[in-house]
Amino acid sequence: MRASPEAERTEAAIATLTQAIAHARAGDHQRGRELCASVLFEIQPMLARRKALLRATVHALLVSQGFRLLTRAVVALTGQSIRVVLKLDGSGQVTPPRCHDEAREIIYTIDPRWLARLTDDNAFLRGWCDALASGEARHGGRTVPSRARLSPEPAV
């Protein structure tokens, strides 16, 4: 039995996003961003329905430091604007992103050392993606009520 065209597009996009992460981890953030951009337009309509695709996209955009693309994706999903700021003070413990509200946007302050260690199963990443799927741009590490508009993903 053959997978649906949407499932095939999802698999291909996740493979490309995985390559983006690999390039960024090797120090080529620009190539990582280019790979993310190459699939983002096509997959954007599926992001709210496909949890794994949303998480892979946010993960790749964060690791590749594709913060402008991430902002556009968040606006498309939630209608809310965000800004990602890298924390320049590299002293002390590695901390997960901090979130605070400004006048017209939500600002996430991210420790680059946290980005270097970010994995697909990170609790903050999962929680933020759950919030995004629910139409909320803000996630401060707390548990987000499960109001997601996601449909179950078929086994591929």
Tens digits of per-residue pLDDT, 49-64? Answer: 999 999 999 999 999 9
pLDDT confidence of residue 122: 96
More confident residue, 141 or 108: 108
- Reported as a pLDDT band with limits 50, 70 and 90, residue 1 is low
31 occurs within a structural domain: yes
145 occurs within a structural domain: no
- Reported as a pLDDT band with limits 50, 70 and 90, residue 143 is very low
Number of domains in the chain: 1
Q: Which domain holds residue 13?
A: 5-79+119-133
Does residue 40 carry a pLDDT above 80? yes
Which backbone phi and psi does 96 adopt, to 5 degrees?
-70, 165
85 occurs within a structural domain: no
98 occurs within a structural domain: no
Per-chain mean pLDDT for the chain:
87
28 occurs within a structural domain: yes
User: Region 30-44: what's the mean pLDDT?
Assistant: 96
pLDDT confidence of residue 91: 77
69 occurs within a structural domain: yes
93 occurs within a structural domain: no
The secondary element (H helix, E strand) that includes residue 10 is helix 5-25
pLDDT confidence of residue 139: 84
Neighbours of 109 (CB within 10 A): 15
Q: Which stretch of 31-45, 73-87, 132-146 has the lowest confidence by average pLDDT? A: 132-146
Distance CA 81, CA 24 (A): 25
Strands 98-101 and 106-110, sheet pairing: antiparallel
100 occurs within a structural domain: no
Highest average pLDDT, of 3-12, 59-68, 97-106, comes from 59-68
Neighbours of 121 (CB within 10 A): 9
